[in-house]
Amino acid sequence: YGDYNQKIDYVFKVVLIGDSAVGKSQLLARFARNEFSVDSKATIGVEFQTKTLAIDHKTVKAQIWDTAGQERYRAVTSAYYRGAVGAMLVYDVTKRQSFDHMARWLEELRGHADKNIAIMLIGNKCDLGSLRAVPIEDAQEFAQRENLFFMETSALEATNVETAFLTVLTEIYRIIS
Ligand code: GDP
Ligand code: MG
């Protein structure tokens, strides 16, 4: 019976948002399946992936939603945000514009989501250090001002990916329990 018989205590919906090509789908692939693909196709069809883990001796099923090529401003529908208790706001540390867009993604998120949502700002592709276009201090300052968690990650090298998701999931658990 194994996992099939496992009692789920909580299901937490977490949404990934941010510009196209910042690495949202690869972060999810890394977290859910420990996979990475260099030539990832724009996400089509798949709405979410799940990963079951233990937090404080409870069984939590994380249901992580990925945008299906709807990253244009305001193209993400309210159904995407509905019921989300966590969010990952992702930019690419080598693309300044993707960071500058964080403010409006955050505004859109706050307009749709629950008041108590746990939010993590993620600067992905930190393996590309020589191409960095966003100083870590800029992101820290934004995160502090907006009261967000913040971490730099690499889906490619699996740096901080698990930690970032676990931080958000643990915060959600703290909020609801
Ligand atoms: P999405 O549009 O936000 O879902 O972005 P994808 O996950 O499809 O990734 C876009 C491109 O960036 C792909 O070519 C990935 O292989 C690449 N990519 C994603 N994460 C990383 C990373 O951490 N480091 C590097 N160097 N490339 C990455
Ligand atoms: Mg994608």
Query: In the predicted model, is pLDDT for residue 70 greater than 60?
Result: yes
- In 3D, which of 70, 65, 77, 69 has the Cα closest to residue 28? 65
Counting ligands in written order, which one lies closest to the CA of residue 95? 1
Q: What integer pLDDT is reported at residue 128 of this predicted model?
A: 98
Question: Rounded mean pLDDT of 31-40?
Answer: 83
Query: In the predicted model, is pLDDT for residue 56 greater than 80?
Result: yes
- In 3D, which of 124, 113, 123, 126 has the Cα closest to residue 172? 113
- Sequence-distant (6+) residues with CB within 8 A of 135 are none
> Ligand 1: which residue has its CA nearest to atom 12?
23
> Ligand 1: which residue has its CA nearest to atom 11?
21
> Ligand 1: which residue has its CA nearest to atom 26?
125
Query: In the predicted model, is pLDDT for residue 1 greater than 50?
Result: no
Identify which of 19, 20, 26 to mutate to test ligand 1's pocket (most ligand atoms within 8 A of the CB): 26
Query: In the predicted model, is pLDDT for residue 98 greater than 60?
Result: yes
Task: Tell me if ipTM is over 0.90.
Answer: yes
- Ligand 1 closest atom vs CA 69: 2
Q: How far is the CA of 26 from the centre of ligand 2 (A)?
A: 7
Q: Dihedrals φ, ψ of 152, to 5°?
A: -95, 140
Q: Is 72 exposed, middle or buried (0-12, 13-18, 19+ CB in 10 A)?
A: exposed
Q: How far is the CA of 84 from the centre of ligand 2 (A)?
A: 18
> Ligand 1: which residue has its CA nearest to atom 16?
38
Q: What is the dihedral of CA 172, 136, 97, 78, to 10 degrees?
A: 0
